[in-house]
Each structure stands twice: as structure tokens, then as C-alpha cells.
Amino acid sequence: MENNNTSSNFIKTIIQGDLESGKHKKVVTRFPPEPNGYLHIGHAKSIVINFGLADEFGGETNLRFDDTNPLKEDQEYVDAIKKDVEWLGYEWESLRFASDYFEEMYDRAVLLIKKGKAYVDDLTADEIREYRGTLTEPGKESPYRNRSVEENLDLFDRMRKGEFENGAKVLRAKIDMSSPNINLRDPVIYRVSHATHHNTGDTWCIYPMYAFAHPIEDAIEGVTHSLCTTEFEDQRPLYNWVVAECEMESQPQQIEFGRLGLINTVMSKRKLRKLVEEGYVDGWDDPRMPTISGLRRKGYTPESIVEFVKAVGVSKGSGAADTAMLEHFIREDLKVKAPRTMGIVDPLKVVITNYPEGQVEMLDAEINPENPDMGTRQIPFSREIYIEREDFMEDPPKKYFRLFPGNEVRLKHAYFIKCEDFIKDEDGNVVELHCTYDVETKSGTGFTGRKVKGTLHWVEATQAVPAEFRLYEPLILDADMENDDDESEGKTFLDYVNKDSLIVQQGFIEGNMKDAKPQDKFQFFRHGYFNVDPKHTTKDKLVFNQIVSLKSSFKL
Ligand code: ATP
Ligand code: MG
């Protein structure tokens, strides 16, 4: 793992050098998502790097939607992305759309044609692929490569006017069909696509390709450092070619960093969309998804995500981080923020036979022992309570310190109780315990008369609020799924989806929690941290998502 301090990161070193040498007076970065899906935690790395570095040097960051592919893009995604960036705590200098620059991109393409640096090609997509050659063989020139400037200008104009079908013609940069870098073998820079665009409607029926559009967008915005992931490394020469040949005033520098992944999940939007569309999850914000919205609904805080991303570091290498590391950061964050409370997931009724019938007393309990400023709460106690079914055994093994016939335990914040008897139903299941309590042992009174080994959590029965607890297991049953390409063996990542990744249980919570609001977070004694689910919680039933259990073996 890398140093948690961003001062050790290589991008920062480059920026610092550029400011010191006077190459740039101000740092300008951009976060450029394509609005074709929701943001995931990999994007959070890009956000933290782009916004974080600009902030550190008093610079600016634009949020720019890279919307050059009308078929896959949608306003829903634009809105969701804006919400997620803001939620993570970042403010963009200005909100841009690549589509706002379509006219200028067109003009730059015309400039390339006039300079003899671009031509209209009639080859089909398959033919272009065939002519491109391979890593070991040079490509072949298209028969249309030497069209005159006049003919190219005329054809490109007619492409724009809609005279040609999708795929009938493309505009290609005229670079070098024998370049060892395949990206430079006359890349396609414009294609015909008769599609309605979410921003420009039907104004255009030709659209620029990413490799042409992106450097122009960066240059128009005066981006100084264009930070992207390492799969674009081979495209850097093309990026520089476009900036130079299109005679852009400003010259952004592309710098690549490694993609962030997580074990036991998939990350690319294409795969995440499949999970949503085919109903494996209940939306982009399903708590099992590695999306920002999924993590938010599960109960992650922005602080925990940002701290995790910073700890992973800004290396060139990419790899799947361990989920345990992400969990470490939410535990750290919630430890001081989340109120403690008690919830019973699999309830077993206990009648305290020597407690006065009809009496309810209020007991004092601290809200968060790690944060005394949060004060105290009042919990009701009476003759009937619920405990966890697993906290009783009729015939326990050695070292079982919870309830069994004749044994005494402590009830958290309350009294010692002793198991005297139990009732079974016709099938032999224990359905009720009969216990006695000792009034002398009340919590907080300093009782030292005798010791017990077990402490149980519980909920008073008459005021208990029914609740649903949703526990989550990994979504994908293969640690390195994002990078494994098993599709060759006739399998896809969908074959590795964990069908048992959602576990739903019914139980009770303390009566004083009935007013909990969606997204409120709590630490349930022994069960870990939970978030009130915003989608399934109703007036009548609170639904809790388990964010993370209490224990971890993870060490930073
Ligand atoms: P996906 O394959 O998930 O759709 P993408 O790269 O196509 O990812 P974009 O919307 O184009 O997604 O990404 C916006 C920015 O976020 C880009 O600069 C991209 O490099 C960066 N990014 C995307 N995925 C990751 C990741 N896993 N780790 C770090 N940065 C990422
Ligand atoms: Mg993409």
C-alpha cells in the first residue's frame, strides 16, 4: 500500500514542477464521466485525484459530461452523477458538456481536412478493422485515402447534412498506417449516427469519436493536466497529435494513473448495467453494488469513501483492493458518529417472572461510549423482553457463557437475569424463557456482589418496534472477476453472481427508535453498523441495511 499522504504521488510532483517552472500559472483539471451509467467507487478515485489535486494547488476542476455517444446516454445518468460528486463533497468550477463543443469540433475537423490531415472513408467498419493490421503487421491504406481536399470537404459537409446512412462513411485522421502504435493508423474521428442526443436533440447526425473529442474538450477548457486511467496510455500520442494538428491554443498534458477495483465485484458500467437490467439487483443503488449510490444506500459516508481512496494511493498500477480495507474506513468513521442501540435479529421471548406485572421503568444508557458528547438515552425495561435466539442453549457446550438453564447473565444497561425454565412448542422449538432478575444488580449502581461472564443485548417487548434487517454477502463469487475474462470459456461474470447475497431477517429494535429516518446510521450492539434503507422503509416498518459487522481482521 502506498503512503496515505498525497504528497508522495507522482502526479502531484509533475504539477508542482509545472507551477514552479512557470509552465502553468493555475492548475485546471476535469472529471469527465460519460453519462451512460451511475458512478462507481473506481470513479471516486478519479474524482478524489482531479478535485483533490486542483484544490491543493488553488486550481479549478470542471465536471464535464463526455456525451459524444448519443445511443447510450441519458439525463437520468447526468442527474445521478451530479448528485454523487456533490455528495462526495466536491464542488465543480463549471459544469460542461462535450456536446456544447460539437460546432467547434466540427470546425477543427474541417481544418484537418483543409490541411490534408483527414479524409472521408467509405470502407465498412469490418474493412477498416481488417486494413488496420496487427501489432506485428503494418496496416494497409484505404483506397479512399487520397481523396482531394475539395472532395473531402464536400463529403464531410454532406455527412453532416444527413445524406448518408449510419456506417456508410467515416472521417479518419490521416496519420500513419504503418505506425507501431495502432492508435495512429488513421483513427476514425467522426461517424454517422442518426440518433437523438440527450442534449443536442436532432441537430447532429454525425458525432466525434472519443479520441478526437477528448483532447479538444480539454484544450477548449484550458485543462492543464488531463488525468485519466492507464488504458489510455497508448492513446497519448494521438491525444497530442489532435491538440497540435487542430492548432488548439492551450496544450493540456495527459497523465495516466491505475484503475481502482474491488474484489468480489465488477466495476465497469457495462457490466453493472447488465446486473440492473437483468434484475440481479434492485437498481443501480442496490446496496450490493459498488456504485456510489449503492454504497450510500448501504450506509457508507462520503468521508469513509474518500479516506479509503486516498489510502489506496495514486499509483500507476491497477488492482482490486480488498473490501476489508473499505470496511475499515467506515468503521473508523462511524465509531464516533453512530449512536449505539440494541436490535434483536432472531427474537426469543423472555418473561422475567419476579418483575412486577404492568411496571415499565426507564433505564439510562450512554448513546456512544466513544463520544460522550452524544449524551444518554432512555430505554424501557419490563417483565417481557426479547433476546437473540442464539443467546440461549438448552444443552450448551463448555465455555458457553450465555443463557442456559440455571445460568445467570448480565442484560446490557439493565440487570442480571437467571434462566429458570423454558417452554417448547409441539415441534420441540424453544419459544419462551422464564427468568428471574435480581434488583440489586442494576447497571450503573456499582454492584460488585458477584460476577457473570455473559452480557446479552435485549429489547423490551411491549414497546419494541418491528424491523427488518438486510445483511449482504459479496455479489460476485470470484475475487478477481473484473479482470478475469472467462467469456472465452463460454461463461460470463453473470455465471458468478452470488444468488445468496441478500439475507433478509425480521426482528425488533428499541422503542425509542421508531422515529429513525432514512439514511440514519446506528451501531447495533454485537451486530455492527446499520443504515435505515431509504427505499424499503415505510411508515409501518423500518428496514435496516447492514453496513458492516463490528469485527475486522484488517490492519492498515
Ligand atoms: P467504465 O468502464 O466503468 O464505464 P469508463 O472509464 O468508461 O469506466 P467514464 O465515465 O468514461 O468511465 O470515466 C470517467 C473518468 O473516471 C475517466 O477519467 C476514467 O478514466 C475514470 N475512471 C473510470 N473507471 C475508473 C476506475 N475503476 N478507477 C479509476 N478511475 C476510473
Ligand atoms: Mg466509458
Q: How far is the CA of 238 from the centre of ligand 2 (A)?
A: 18
Q: How far is the CA of 176 from the centre of ligand 2 (A)?
A: 26
Radius of gyration of the chain (CA): 31
Q: Which ligand is nearest to the CA of 37?
A: 1
Residue 464 — φ and ψ, nearest 5°? -60, 145
Q: Which ligand is nearest to the CA of 273?
A: 1
Q: Is 33 in the pocket of ligand 1 (CB under 6 A)?
A: yes
Task: Give the C-alpha separation, 216 to 208, whole Å.
Answer: 10
Minimum CA distance residue for ligand 1 atom 4: 269
Q: Which amino acid is at 461?
A: A
Class at the top of the CATH hierarchy for domain 262-338+468-548: mainly alpha
Q: Which residues have C-beta within 8 Å of that of residue 347, sequence separation ≥ 6?
A: 386, 387, 388, 389, 459, 507, 508
Residues 145, 174: contact at Cβ < 8 Å? yes
Residues 415, 401: contact at Cβ < 8 Å? no
Testing ligand 1's pocket by substitution, the residue of 36, 40, 46, 72 carrying the most ligand atoms inside 8 A of its CB is 46
Q: How far is the CA of 34 from the centre of ligand 2 (A)?
A: 6
Which pLDDT score, from 0 to 100, does residue 181 have?
Answer: 97
Per-domain residue ranges for the chain?
10-257, 262-338+468-548, 343-457
Q: Which residues have C-beta within 8 Å of that of residue 555, sequence separation ≥ 6?
A: none
Which pLDDT score, from 0 to 100, does residue 374 have?
Answer: 96
Containing H/E element for 3?
none
Q: How far is the CA of 43 from the centre of ligand 1 (A)?
A: 6
Q: Is 15 in the pocket of ligand 1 (CB under 6 A)?
A: no
Q: How far is the CA of 278 from the centre of ligand 2 (A)?
A: 20
Nearest to 525, CA basis, from 454, 457, 448:
457
Which pLDDT score, from 0 to 100, does residue 2 have?
Answer: 41
Q: Is 59 in the pocket of ligand 1 (CB under 6 A)?
A: no
Q: Is 42 in the pocket of ligand 1 (CB under 6 A)?
A: yes
Would you give the distance in Å from CA 460 to the centre of its chain? Answer: 37
Q: Is 179 in the pocket of ligand 1 (CB under 6 A)?
A: no
Q: Which ligand is nearest to the CA of 42?
A: 1
Q: Which ligand is nearest to the CA of 49?
A: 1
Q: How far is the CA of 44 from the centre of ligand 1 (A)?
A: 9
Active-site residue numbers?
Answer: 34, 259, 269
Minimum CA distance residue for ligand 1 atom 29: 259
Task: Give the C-alpha separation, 85 to 431, whole Å.
Answer: 50
Give the end-to-end CA distance of the chain in Å, rounded to a whole number: 9
Testing ligand 1's pocket by substitution, the residue of 229, 292, 483 carrying the most ligand atoms inside 8 A of its CB is 229
Which pLDDT score, from 0 to 100, does residue 524 have?
Answer: 96
Q: Is 30 in the pocket of ligand 1 (CB under 6 A)?
A: no
Minimum CA distance residue for ligand 1 atom 26: 42
User: Helices 102-114 and 210-220: crossing angle, nearest 10°?
Assistant: 110
DSSP letter string over 359-415?
A: --EEEEEES-TT-GGG-EEEEEE-SEEEEEGGGB-SSPPTT--SB-TT-EEEETTS-
Q: Is 323 in the pocket of ligand 1 (CB under 6 A)?
A: no
Which pLDDT score, from 0 to 100, does residue 486 have?
Answer: 54
Q: Is 46 in the pocket of ligand 1 (CB under 6 A)?
A: yes
Atom of ligand 1 nearest to the CA of 39: 10
Task: Give the C-alpha separation, 517 to 300, whole Å.
Answer: 16
Class at the top of the CATH hierarchy for domain 343-457: mainly beta
How distant, in Å, are the alpha carbons of 92, 457, 489 from that of 50?
10, 46, 38
Minimum CA distance residue for ligand 1 atom 1: 268
Q: Counting runs of H as helices and runs of E as strands, what totals does the chain give?
A: 12, 27
Testing ligand 1's pocket by substitution, the residue of 43, 48, 78, 263 carrying the most ligand atoms inside 8 A of its CB is 43
Q: What is the mean pLDDT of each run of 10 residues along the chain (556 residues)?
A: 53 95 97 97 96 96 96 92 98 97 98 98 97 95 98 98 97 98 98 95 97 98 97 97 98 95 92 96 97 98 97 78 94 96 96 97 94 95 97 95 97 98 96 98 93 96 96 90 64 92 95 91 96 94 95 66
Which pLDDT score, from 0 to 100, does residue 487 have?
Answer: 60
Q: How far is the CA of 163 from the centre of ligand 1 (A)?
A: 35
The cell numbers describing 125, all together, are 467498419
Q: Which ligand is nearest to the CA of 259?
A: 1
Alpha helices in 195-291 (DSSP H): 210-220, 236-245, 269-277
Residues 123, 188: contact at Cβ < 8 Å? no
The cell numbers describing 433, all together, are 424463557
Atom of ligand 1 nearest to the CA of 232: 20
Q: How far is the CA of 36 from the centre of ligand 2 (A)?
A: 8
Answer whether CATH 3.40.50.620 is correct for domain 10-257. yes
Q: Is 268 in the pocket of ligand 1 (CB under 6 A)?
A: yes
Minimum CA distance residue for ligand 1 atom 27: 42
Q: How far is the CA of 272 from the centre of ligand 1 (A)?
A: 13
Which pLDDT score, from 0 to 100, does residue 1 have?
Answer: 40
DSSP state for residue 95 in the 8-state scheme? E
